[in-house]
A and B are shown apart, each in its own frame.
Chain A
């Protein structure tokens, strides 16, 4: 029989043994420097959030509140999406070696022992009952399974819950306090918790599937049966009248996911790599979603299967499979519940014991004369012992609370009551991270106020409901004053107790925190810490840390201090690592400067908390009191230096840009210079060609008087032609120069462009006829009118036409002129059927002295300046000149001139 007492006990022991093996494996790998904490393990370990309160309790909540249990899981989903906030928390904790939430708050507000103690007390009072609830869940699940078995496992004097508590304490001590780690990281524990998360998810999904598809006909069948039932139908719909509660619970659980000591431990302290958060931001919510899918089906399934309230809904997860005799499944569920409870208890207890040891016991010990008397003693063993005792005590407290409360309301409702307690940390935490003005006094006032309101409106009424104290203050108000009714404070009725408490406690907390902060001045340490917390991304270097400390210390005293608290082996190891970062071979050669003091304090902070570490360092080093003004000056100076360096950076960027610009201009000037040289040499070359031929012919005429008359005539004809060409060339060069320098004379007026084109065609008619080339015009009878210089336009037209006639073949050549208007522009085309131009030629012909055809072999047919001049003219009138052509298909020269803007 599977459900015999011995078998269950054996199975539980085996499971815990497996967990322990996982943890040892994780620790061993961490010691070997091969961490098994991957992003997935980190994300799964966050699911320590799902305690037995989720595992068993969610179904119970769903039987009374329908879907409202989901708020507890939606809040964390939304909170985790604010990755920036959590990342900042992680970064601050790494920089300042923060090991618990109490340490975080204390360190921010001037490393205050008072605040550390206060946060610890609130956490312990708020969370110990929650631990009791876990014990109760395990004990109840044992009870259910044992109810089916006859044999008594334990003697009457030994209570199974006490045994569980003792086993858990032993377990926690074994892998929670193996050694004092400067970062308080427990990789083995994280691995075990992640493993447990998988187990509880699988167990819950298994029972969900079993009930939904094994006992009923699937989700829709289950819901349809429930809908037919008048009592159950209401559970399936969202209840809009509870909208305020809904929002309050989302806020509350969103805060709890960060501020519950165990969550802070897992999310912040145990984080090995900030990049892991990226995975957690969706994997953990996915986990929450999966573990919640079957909660409502299980709740209605349980209510349908056990009508009349005969069975406690909190146990449906176990009783449903048991009712069907699925014993193996019931055992799996039991192990899942055990996982949920043990994971929570272990992490919570470790987190609380760190806080109790560092923030309650240490300050007290450091003050006692006994510790001062024995200065040489190695205290690392004592520290571990304190933590172990703290763990045992916390679990014992939990057990006592469980015994005392039993089935009382004060235990059943504790989940949300705990959440509300830790929500009180939110103003001091968020304020500390983002608001430099928040002060120590403000944080103390806010925490005290919020805690008091929480106590009065939530915890004490839950005691009253359990019958432990009189309920007069709830029903009639304190001293009979009805305004002070604990759950309708100042007449604020109509809320459920959680939203009521959350509203008033946060109101008091934030109000006191802000108003006291604004009316108090921080001391020097606090101002420095505020700056370093809020601007953590800026203060990652060492220099600002060390500038805030001035005084004298001795290396020996500091090392002695480290050895006392960390043990000789560990402190030697840390000192060697530190010396290496400063480039020294041996730590003994290091000067006892501010940097070393800072290192020692940070190492100590990891072991005993920042507040105690500060006290200890102050006891061996004589620190000069800097005073608030000086600290602020130093910080301002640092800010100014940063501002200057940023300005300098901007200036140098500007300078670079200016240099680049100058370089570009210089480049352009060189290019122009080169062009000018080219131009002059080209011009000289062009002028010399006709001159040479004129000179040669003239010399022949001059030296040979016996030349034939015909020959003389021919030579003189060539001379005249060449002279004409020379004149044309010089005219065009002058023209070009004028146009380029902007000194050309323009007589602009309204010109009938059609007439200009016709006239140009007429003037060249003879030329075309001589060569046997057809010239066709497609022109309107008159107009359009454009604003231009008539003679210049004529020049362009004649240039284009004479170019065309030059390049078309004789007798078969054809030139077509078209004139049209499009897009507010006149468009004139001169198309020929000549050899056409390649794309490359099409571009170069508009450059000076570049001509169509091969100028090396054929005799040049023009000056090479016609098209550049034409282009300049057309552009002067605001138009364009370009060519469209394909080799072998003729060329089409097009120019446009804008029409004058219509008169308004």
Chain B
């Protein structure tokens, strides 16, 4: 029987982390302006880019 690979499990964990981060109620936290831009805009794109970056790091890592 083939075991679930650690890479796949790490990616799935990232997905499960992204779900609460990108939905309410956590999404209600950023208000006002960050860096001169609307907070929600910065937060959404920031978290999203972070998830993509982590996923790229996990998926493209050599060896595992």
Contacts and interface: CB of A to CB of B under 8 A. Distances in A.
Interface of A: 67, 70, 74, 77-79, 81-84, 87, 219-220, 223-224, 227, 236-238, 240, 243, 246-247, 250, 278-279, 281-283, 285-286, 289, 293, 296, 537-538
Determine which residue in B38, B51, B52 has the highest number of CB atoms from chain A within 10 A of its CB, and name it.
B38
A289 B45 contact: yes
Contacts of A538: 1-2
Given A70-B44, A81-B15, A285-B55, A223 B37 contact: yes
A247 B59 contact: no
A83 B38 CA distance: 33
B19 A78 contact: yes
A82 B23 contact: no
B22 A238 contact: no
A238 B55 contact: no
A851 to B, nearest CB: 54
Interface residues on B, range: 35 or more
Nearest to A242: B24
B3 to A, nearest CB: 9
B24 A246 contact: yes
5 contacts: A84-B12, A220-B37, A224-B36, A238-B40, A282-B52
B40 A278 contact: no
Interface string B34-64: 0111111100110011011101100110000
Interface of B: 1-2, 4, 7-9, 11-12, 14-15, 18-19, 22-25, 27-28, 30-31, 35-41, 44-45, 48-49, 51-53, 55-56, 59-60
A246 B23 contact: yes
Contact of A82 (B15, B25, B48, B60): B15
Contacts of A87: 8
Nearest to A536: B2
Contacts of A77: 18, 48, 51-52
Contact of B60 (A219, A224, A278, A286): A278
Nearest to A235: B38
Nearest to A220: B36
A233 to B, nearest CB: 9
A885 B8 CA distance: 57
Given A223-B38, A285-B55, A293 B45 contact: yes
Determine which residue in A74, A79, A227, A296 has the highest number of CB atoms from chain B within 10 A of its CB, and name it.
A74
Contacts of A78: 15, 18-19, 22
Given A243-B25, A247-B24, A279 B49 contact: no
Contacts of B52: 77, 282, 285-286, 289
Contacts of B9: 84
B59 A238 contact: no
B18 A537 contact: no
Contacts of B24: 240, 243, 246-247
A83 B8 contact: yes
A144 B15 CA distance: 41
Determine which residue in A70, A81, A285, A538 has the highest number of CB atoms from chain B within 10 A of its CB, and name it.
A81
A46 B23 CA distance: 24
Contact of B40 (A219, A236, A279, A285): A236
A666 to B, nearest CB: 36
B27 A243 contact: yes
A243 B48 contact: no
A378 to B, nearest CB: 41
A542 B47 CA distance: 46
A538 B23 CA distance: 37
B31 to A, nearest CB: 7
